[in-house]
Structure 1
């Protein structure tokens, strides 16, 4: 249900990162610094940044609301009131969590808990609020037309579970504040990411990549998003300096640097799984609705915005995609490391501009090495072959669900 919100946010994020960012690939190729006036740039930057913030930035509010709504609906409780209570709880917890790192009200409210990269917590909060309405709320039957008396009666019946939910939220918020519990704290995430980005050892890089992708599949995307940002580590700078002095990156001191392997080959700039699935759906799927979702998200996915597809397909928390999501990036890294070891390709040592399509990161990161580009395409084809059985299994399950739904309606 939240796929439209995520897709709208991702489109505006692509606009912000690719069109209205001076350090982006498209901005520099099209020379927008001279062609685009300051007024247009300011308006575009404000609009795109604002839409990203009210969609992806507070996505957790929408998630908590619908999580509570659908949980309460299972037990025939008042869904609207459950959703409102969940919004109060998640927003209060996010506010107190953010206060520990900022005294600014606005910055505290836009905490990491509410971001689309932290939706697992919002799902859990909404679910528990829905369960509170399950045990303490009165049964509710939806009426097509409601007058003031029926609405007042609904509100009165929902007072007890709403109060219990708010009190539970107060307790959780105070625990977060007084005990300095940093949910999704950037310090721990940076520690995890830093150990991978600076490592030149595959037995460190590959397991941490798998852990980060597991978190992403589970609704915690911060470790992965941090891994895919540009690394200014000493090892990365040493590789770049060597490549600049010698004219190529074949013998850089850190050939298997974690940040380079993840960005160029492991996740290909956040498009590995999402773009692979999009291509498979467009080529082999016979489900018109799924095809429409893939077509709608093709552009943002190509430029590193998989959230719309991940929510709408869905990929996040979908058991069908758990194994491929966790293992495909690791397989890509191991194969790429082997190719680097036998000098089939060169390491990615040069900085890549923001908004570069994931398929081209290895090409630009190797200073235009066509072998690296061809190798990336071959890896992408391999990823398609690995993911294809999961999609076919998903189509089979979907057909069985449709048949079951039709039979249930017939029996009713």
Structure 2
């Protein structure tokens, strides 16, 4: 445990990880607020959601109140999570510049401009239309790229920029002097963004006919082979830990799966949920057991922190996000803890979905539980997803509760490692202070 803790400390002390941790720390409030509004959007004001149907809001909620609630919740979610890369790239560049005592504000603005240029050119090459905000390429699911770009721009200011010492009050002349000194660096970063965006434009224009993440993930979704599904899930989980959420979201979407439609059609015709054509269907296993609707793995981590955690900050973040996590909104917790790019949690985030799927496949093979075939209401609590996906099969409910408890137990080593890492960090800080 001490060796792992020291390795985690060494990795977290690298400049990129320090920048990522600080960026997520400052973005925690808006991510948490966004998570609550996402619950409202996906679970309270969505007719296809769990809470909406549970409380029969269609009858007790007026149309005017529904329209207002839908618009407001969607507005907040789109602004926060639809443009999350804008916040991320700014603070990533800003904190990188601060580490090296450079102009953080100008670095953030330069990074923001470079990102917008790159996304503009990329989307132009992909769609052939002049559009900037639409397309989702500034959304939460691409956080890692924004972090990386911001860090790169901060390094440009590190190597080429003049040292900067912040003052309590800046006159206009001082601000103008800062802007003039940053002009060359801003030009360099924007030209760099144009070059990278131009390369992306040229590349994507040639292969856009074959460029489709949905097409790539559909092979896994429609696969009945665990040798394909399990490694793909592990890779998608690792990418999600990096801050690239899109692959795991795609793999968890079974609505467009042809094989899932075939399974459901078979059940409707035969009236039996057993002996379906694709018993180990990738999309169903990933969505129902691997991630249990999207948040069960992270929910298990939050529960483990509340039970075995010894640090106030993670417990506070877990308590604040418990309600969103229960109804499949994990982004506030992923940023607030943070989980993304935190080496302490990487093994569990990859291992837990894989173990869930393998155990579920074994249970299906032994006819302990049936294959999930029914569509699920959005916002369904993770441990209940398999129960509803099998049309209320009670052995499945017992099995899914057991699986969730196992997930919580599997998170214990990560929580203990986090406790140990904090203790070692405190001792290192005390030693550093004694040498001053």
Q: Which category describes the TM-score, using the shorter chain as reference length?
A: over 0.9
- Residues 82 and 130, structure 1, Cα contact 8 Å, conserved in 2: yes
Matches within 5 A, 1:7-406: 7-102=32-127, 108-180=132-204, 187-406=211-430
CA apart distance, 1:385: 1.8
Distance 1:356 1:245, change over 3 A: same
The aligned residue for residue 10 of structure 2 is none
Q: After superposition, what is the alpha-carbon deviation per residue over 1:347-401, rounded to whole angstroms, capped at 9, x for unaligned?
A: 1111111221111110001110111111111111211222211111111111222
- 2:132 and 2:109 map into 1 onto residues whose CA distance is 21
Q: Which moved more, 1:244-253 or 1:393-402?
A: 244-253
CA apart distance, 1:292: 0.7
- 1:21 and 1:297 map into 2 onto residues whose CA distance is 20
- Residues 112 and 184, structure 1, Cα contact 8 Å, conserved in 2: no
CA apart distance, 1:208: 1.0
Q: Which moved more, 1:7-16 or 1:401-410?
A: 401-410
- Residues 97 and 107, structure 2, Cα contact 8 Å, conserved in 1: yes
Distance 1:185 1:206, change over 3 A: farther
Alignment: residue pair count: 411
Distance 1:118 1:186, change over 3 A: farther
- Residues 94 and 108, structure 1, Cα contact 8 Å, conserved in 2: yes
Distance 1:128 1:186, change over 3 A: farther
Question: TM-score normalized by structure 1?
Answer: 0.94
- 1:85 and 1:186 map into 2 onto residues whose CA distance is 33
- 1:90 and 1:265 map into 2 onto residues whose CA distance is 36
Taking only aligned residues, the RMSD between alpha carbons, in angstroms, comes to 2.1
Q: After superposition, what is the alpha-carbon deviation per residue over 1:139-163, rounded to whole angstroms, capped at 9, x for unaligned?
A: 0011112222222222222222111
- 1:74 and 1:195 map into 2 onto residues whose CA distance is 44
CA apart distance, 1:410: 5.3
- Residues 238 and 350, structure 2, Cα contact 8 Å, conserved in 1: yes
- 1:377 and 1:5 map into 2 onto residues whose CA distance is 32
CA apart distance, 1:69: 0.9
- 1:109 and 1:302 map into 2 onto residues whose CA distance is 30
CA apart distance, 1:174: 2.1
- Residues 86 and 125, structure 1, Cα contact 8 Å, conserved in 2: yes
Q: Secondary structure at the match of 2:292?
A: coil
Q: Which moved more, 1:190-199 or 1:397-406?
A: 397-406
Q: Which runs of 5+ in 1 are unaligned?
A: none
Distance 1:43 1:102, change over 3 A: farther
Match of 1:5 among 2, 6, 30: 30
- Residues 123 and 129, structure 2, Cα contact 8 Å, conserved in 1: no
Larger relative contact order, structure 1 or 2 (CA cutoff 8 Å, min sep 6): 2
Q: Secondary structure at the match of 1:159?
A: helix
